[in-house]
Amino acid sequence: MGVPPMAAASEPDRRWKCPFCETLNPELFLVCTVCRTEAPVEAASPASPATGAGAAAAAAAAACSADSTMHSNMRECLETSSQEELLSLPKSALVAEILRLRGVLAMAQAALLEVDEANARKQGEKREQENSEALATIVSDLEAARRSGIPLPLDQRNFLALAELGRSPSEIADESCPVCYEDLSLGAMVVVEGCGHSACVDCMRGHVVTNVRSASIGNLVCMEEGCTSPLGHATVMDMLSGDEHADDREKYERFGIRCYLDGVGNSMVCPVRECQSEFIVEHGNAKVDCPACGKAFCAHCPGKPEWHDSTCEKYQEWARENGKADDAFEQLLKSKKSRMKPCPKCKAIVFKPPRTSGGACNWLRCRCKHTFCFLCLAGPLPSDHHAHFRGAGPCQGKLFYDDPATVE
């Protein structure tokens, strides 16, 4: 009789039972594959004598594999099970999976948000660069127009003044006029070049007109308290536009020319009374021709006389001698012994004949046809010689009167 074969030894069940959800888990799994509950101490003993880093690595790998398998199984279970079957599952397993899915969803949303923010940031940077390039082009065109002498409208001058200061028109949206406190807009305000302060057009025009009419050109500065930035020429002329300010514009331009000539230091005024034009002359030139009236005069001699062909020294010597004669002649005319008087009309000297010649009449006629009284210079007199001397007055009865001092 043969010996009966030995029964194969059955493998011992090394799985451990979760104390929470009662799920049987592989021996090497340190946490429950369903509810993630940690394995009991007695079930956590290793199946092999691995120790140290090798055991830890093996346990970590097993945990990761179990975690992946568990979530895959749970996801499949959630997707294929009916409501009754889901309700029959351990509540802890459902809660754990729901929390995990919420975490995954939150991370996905955060990632999408980060992508959206990055895209928005890139789009914003792109738009900002495009706006900056467009602004630079506009500013360059306006500066070129200004350099070429093309007059710019007020809003474009304001835009250029703000751009040169690194400011945007949107920055003044909340600003108001420092005088009347009205809200400002780019086309209804004046931006002062150099400081960027602004005021409404009406207040700035009143400021300019008042100072021009009072000859206070030095006060044409910014209206902001404490600011002394001067107003530009284009701004002042724009505020003085219109027929009602024609005289103000002319006055401002005269002041501007005067200030410029004062700064140059070699300006002159034409000595001709009817001209009085002011212009610049070259240093060292004695003979000067007025560009307005064409008269030539000497810039070196006192009084700026008409131009003389001789040297300034000879002319001044002659002027001194001639001045003495002129003074003597002037004194002679003013003396009582003089029988000469200047014509009240043309200033020519008229001589009164002596009485011994049978004349000595005080009714005189100048070569310019003007008739006048030798005694009081009244004129013109009527053709009747006696009329002036017949009426009441200081010359009554003195048609042939001679001052005793003039009778020889």
164: nearest Cα among 144, 147, 140: 140
Dist CA 36 CA 95 (whole Å): 11
Q: Which helix (H) or strand (E) holds 386?
A: helix 385-390
C-alpha distance across the termini of the chain, in Å: 206
Task: Round to whole Å and give the CA distance between 25 and 66.
Answer: 9
What is the torsion angle, in degrees rounded to the nearest 10, for the CA atoms of residue 127, residue 128, residue 134 and residue 135? Answer: 150
Token pair belonging to 297: 């005069």
* Alpha-carbon distances of 106 from 76, 92, 246, rounded to whole Å: 21, 21, 74
- Contact between residue 271 and residue 261 where contact means Cβ atoms under 8 Å apart: no
Count Cβ neighbours within 10 Å for each residue of 25-43 and write b for 16 or more, e otherwise: bebbbbbbbbbbbebeeeb
Domains of the chain, first to last = 16-44+52-150 (no CATH), 151-264 (3.30.40.10), 282-334 (no CATH), 337-406 (no CATH)
Question: Two tokens at 164?
Answer: 């040169």
Where are the alpha helices (H) located in 4-90, listed in sequence order?
Answer: 52-80, 83-88
Q: Would you state the torsion angle of the CA atoms of residues 304, 307, 310, 312, taken in this order, to the nearest 10 degrees?
A: 20
Per-residue pLDDT of the chain (408 residues; tens, 9 = 90+): 444 444 445 566 778 888 777 778 777 667 777 766 777 766 554 444 444 444 444 554 554 454 555 555 555 555 555 556 656 666 666 666 666 777 777 777 777 777 777 777 787 777 777 766 666 676 677 667 666 666 666 667 777 777 777 676 666 666 778 888 887 776 678 888 778 788 888 898 899 898 888 877 778 888 888 888 888 777 888 888 888 888 888 888 777 766 655 555 566 778 777 777 777 666 566 788 887 788 888 877 766 677 777 777 777 777 777 765 556 556 655 555 567 788 888 877 787 776 655 556 888 888 888 888 888 888 888 877 778 888 777 888 888 777 654 443
Instruction: For residue 363, list its beta bridge partners.
Output: 373
pTM of the prediction? 0.36
Its sign, for the CA torsion 119, 120, 121, 123, is positive
CA-wise closest residue to 142 among 119, 113, 162: 162
Inter-residue long-range contacts of 336-342, CB under 8 Å, 24+ positions, other chains counted? 336/403, 336/405, 336/406, 337/405, 337/406, 338/406, 339/406, 341/374, 341/377
- Amino acid sitting at position 142: L
Beta-bridged to residue 168, according to DSSP, are: none
DSSP letter assigned to residue 392:
S
